[in-house]
């Protein structure tokens, strides 16, 4: 099961990478993935900060890995949305090491936040409404994210009104809607939130809706819709119906309806991401947040 170049925030000190990438001085590591590291870069003239995703040197000669890294820039650049990570450039050092120049964000992964804080329903709705809006913009230009999950949602240290801003990150396994089948490709995604069709290697924009439904289910109830070994998860996502989330936590029927419709086995029975964004946006007005800041 491929997870592409998914990067995760560092939880312990890592070796610093000293160097110069174009106009950026690089030192502080921010995150680590299977084939690349993400580092804080500082513009030597302006002092502005960026995040640099640098391919590990041992993969620089691997055409598939390099192509996948550059594809992140190509796919992310197809649209601009305040809820999507901005990948500004794809570059190569003088000695042939590929890297991406991305906007630098300060915040916390949704997974870490949900483990640290008991999120109120209003906060969950506000966060996932922004995620749905960002993904709807991606779908509108023919891109499927393919890995919607906690760790790919960054909750920023800034607010929109009463709610924190969020960004959808990591396009490491994203693909075009009309991409031709690739016999070399492996099934990509995260098993606990993969749609039935994604298990067979045929994801669509509806697969992102399903994954967001899984995320909503887990955030609201404290447990994923299905659990178990890899074969058990595949069977459950394809054949079983999850318990109604309202059995595990009181919630408005409108919210439960969004979750269950998003988890429909048949992609044609799921709402579009734009419809999910609208429904969650309407639900935001129901809640008055207990706090105005994630602390």
Nearest CA-CA partner of 21 in 102, 85, 81, 110:
102
Residue 90 and residue 138 in contact, taking contact as beta carbons nearer than 8 Å = no
Three-class secondary structure of residue 254 per DSSP: helix
Helices (H), the chain: 63-76, 110-116, 121-140, 196-199, 205-221, 230-239, 253-262, 273-284
Structure tokens at 45: 């003239």
**Pick the catalytic residue: 147, 151, 170, 208?**
147
Nearest CA-CA partner of 212 in 166, 262, 163, 253:
262
Q: State the CB neighbour count (10 A cutoff) for residue 233.
A: 18
Tokens 């964004």 found at: 277
Cα 57 to chain center, whole Å?
25
Annotated active-site residue 182? The verdict is no
Q: State the CB neighbour count (10 A cutoff) for residue 15.
A: 7
Cα→Cα distances 155→45, 56, 165, 249, Å:
29, 27, 6, 23
182: left (phi over 0), alpha (psi -120 to 50) or beta: beta
Q: State the CB neighbour count (10 A cutoff) for residue 71.
A: 19
Q: Which residues are catalytic?
A: 147
């Amino acid at each position: 099961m491929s997870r592409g170049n998914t990067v995760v925030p560092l939880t312990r000190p890592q070796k610093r990478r000293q160097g110069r990438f174009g106009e950026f001085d690089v030192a502080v590591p921010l995150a680590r993935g299977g084939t690349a590291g993400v580092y804080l870069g500082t513009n030597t003239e302006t002092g502005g900060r960026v995040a640099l995703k640098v391919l590990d040197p041992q993969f620089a000669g691997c055409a598939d890995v390099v192509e996948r890294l550059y594809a992140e820039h190509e796919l992310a650049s197809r649209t601009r949305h305040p809820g999507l990570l901005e990948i500004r450039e794809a570059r190569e050092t003088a000695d042939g090491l590929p890297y991406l120049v991305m906007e630098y964000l300060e915040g916390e992964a949704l997974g870490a936040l949900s483990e640290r804080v008991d999120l109120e329903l209003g906060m969950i709705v506000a966060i996932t409404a922004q995620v749905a809006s960002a993904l709807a913009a991606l779908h509108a230009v023919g891109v499927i994210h393919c890995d919607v999950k906690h760790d790919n949602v960054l909750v920023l240290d800034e607010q929109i009104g009463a709610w924190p801003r969020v960004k959808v990150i990591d396009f490491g396994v994203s693909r075009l809607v009309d991409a031709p089948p690739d016999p070399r490709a492996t099934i990509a995604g995260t098993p606990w939130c993969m749609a039935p069709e994604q298990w067979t290697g045929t994801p669509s924009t509806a697969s992102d809706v399903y994954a967001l439904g899984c995320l909503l289910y887990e955030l609201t109830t404290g447990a994923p819709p299905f659990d178990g070994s890899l074969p058990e998860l595949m069977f459950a996502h394809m054949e079983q119906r999850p318990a109604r989330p309202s059995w595990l936590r009181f919630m408005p029927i409108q919210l439960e309806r969004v979750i269950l419709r998003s988890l429909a086995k048949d992609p044609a029975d799921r709402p579009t991401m734009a419809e999910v964004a609208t429904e969650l946006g309407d639900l935001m007005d129901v809640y008055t947040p207990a706090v105005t800041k994630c602390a």
